[in-house]
Structure 1
Amino acid sequence: MPHPNRVQPDGTFLATKARGTMMGNRGMLHDAGGTIGNRRWVGKNWVCCVLSFKGRRRAILAPGRYTELFFLDEAVALAAGHRPCAECRRADYDAWCAAWATAFGAREGAQVMDDRLHAARALPGARRLRHETGAAKDLPEGSFFASDGRPYLVTHQGALPYAPEGYGPPESLPPDDVTILTNPVTRAVLAAGYGPATHPKAVRPPSHPS
């Protein structure tokens, strides 16, 4: 049976056989028997990692170790409140920091970024993330919103409906207000030029001849 450690764009956890392309960490959320309880985070250092790095191997949900979380892709991880890991994804982390500096006027350290992200994403005293409403047309590419209970990824072609296995065909952005899943701090970084890695089923722009 799959573990309920697949994170959705709205931050909820799901048990699914569908494979993710990235891993993440929010601290130790499971007990000694490997059962994930009601906690959804411990601490503010939420990172998004590659699945393989320098040949390291981990036992999933090992006692006393952090809980391995998985995502369809980086766009989902960002919507769920994570940022690139500075160790296994150094080039992406540097690109994130450069976009952060553009968005906020200064290059800041990981602790400052994590504090700002946590204030924007988490509801104090709750086990869920903070969301707001707004117009889908105002969201930067790489953001997520939900409409009629279904998450969508904003792309150059409109909106891609999300499922744990991948994305559906592009649809038009809805004209009415939607539930915005990606927090405003991360949206500012996306708008400043950070491009998250997306699942192969995400539609990409056509290539231009050189």
Structure 2
Amino acid sequence: MLQNRVDPYGNLIKSPARGTFMGNRGLLHNEKQEIRRLFKLTAWITCVLEFKDRKRPVMAPGQYTELFFLDEPTSFAAGHRPCFECRRAEATAFKTFWLKGNPEYGFNAKTPIKAIDDILQQERIDQNNKKVTFLEYPDALPDGTFIIFKNEPYLIRNGMMYLWSVEGYGIAKLLPKEKLSVLTPKSVVKTFRTGYLPSFIE
């Protein structure tokens, strides 16, 4: 079993579940298919599972490490964003709504996506590769955002929250009233608020 499934914290874990999206952060594994680093690139992307009939062995020597996500909200919480090659429409929409939701950076449509990736890198992990979070009231957060409640990751959707697991989500629960740690990067939360709707697993 390979260590290539991603949880909402951005950790790489082992699971037989394949997920509904793929992604990568560059070459993370060695010739024995063992994970040796958390990331190599600052462009952490989310891809479709199939694209133009391309076939490739998973974790091939010297090639990027294929990562898998339960759904797109999970990938966003981990710090990924849509790929401009296999998900151009979603990537373009993400950039548009990101610019609208984060005007404080002074970016515009001509700003390269690398500039946004650099912001995401600051929001996803710190200098010690630890997950960066911030505090917010759950009822102030948009659909698709992940929070931590009682040391567990929960997805917010339709005014309720759902416990994440590698196989799927638990039953709907009421949102707590106190401020909680938010796993989804702050600029991505603002992107959701301005109109980007991530793809949920049903």
TM over 0.5: yes
* Deviations, residues 45-96 of structure 1 (Å, cap 9, x unaligned): 1000000000001111111111111100000000000000000001101111
* Deviations, residues 29-53 of structure 1 (Å, cap 9, x unaligned): 101221112x211120100000000
What secondary structure does 1:93 align onto? helix
The Cα of 1:101 is off from its aligned counterpart by 2.3
Identity within the alignment, %: 38
* Deviations, residues 149-199 of structure 1 (Å, cap 9, x unaligned): 111111113111111111112111111222210010111111111000011
Worse-superposed segment, 26-35 or 78-87: 26-35
Kindly indicate whether the alpha-carbon contact (under 8 Å) linking 1:157 and 1:170 is maintained by their aligned counterparts in 2: no
> 2:138 & 2:88 partners in 1: Cα distance?
31
- What residue in structure 2 maps to residue 84 of structure 1? 82
- What residue in structure 1 maps to residue 194 of structure 2? 192
In the alignment, which of 94, 99, 104 is matched to residue 96 of structure 1?
94
In structure 2, what residue type is equivalent to 1:53? F
The Cα of 1:127 is off from its aligned counterpart by 2.8
In the alignment, which of 66, 72, 75 is matched to residue 74 of structure 1?
72
Q: Which runs of 5+ in 2 are unaligned?
A: none
Kindly indicate whether the alpha-carbon contact (under 8 Å) linking 2:147 and 2:153 is maintained by their aligned counterparts in 1: yes
1:120 aligns with 2:123: yes
Kindly indicate whether the alpha-carbon contact (under 8 Å) linking 2:2 and 2:33 is maintained by their aligned counterparts in 1: no
- What residue in structure 2 maps to residue 207 of structure 1? none
What secondary structure does 2:100 align onto? helix
* Deviations, residues 82-116 of structure 1 (Å, cap 9, x unaligned): 00000000110111122122113433321111111
In structure 2, what residue type is equivalent to 1:36? I
RMSD, aligned α-carbons? 1.2
In structure 1, what residue type is equivalent to 2:190? A
> 2:122 & 2:191 partners in 1: Cα distance?
15
- What residue in structure 2 maps to residue 203 of structure 1? none
> 1:51 & 1:148 partners in 2: Cα distance?
33
Q: Which runs of 5+ in 1 are unaligned?
A: 201-210
> 2:58 & 2:189 partners in 1: Cα distance?
31
1:182 aligns with 2:184: yes
Kindly indicate whether the alpha-carbon contact (under 8 Å) linking 2:23 and 2:68 is maintained by their aligned counterparts in 1: yes
TM-score of the superposition, structure 2-length normalised?
0.93
> 2:13 & 2:32 partners in 1: Cα distance?
19
The Cα of 1:147 is off from its aligned counterpart by 0.5
1:53 aligns with 2:43: no
In the alignment, which of 60, 63, 67 is matched to residue 61 of structure 2?
63
TM-score of the superposition, structure 1-length normalised?
0.90
Aligned length in residues: 197
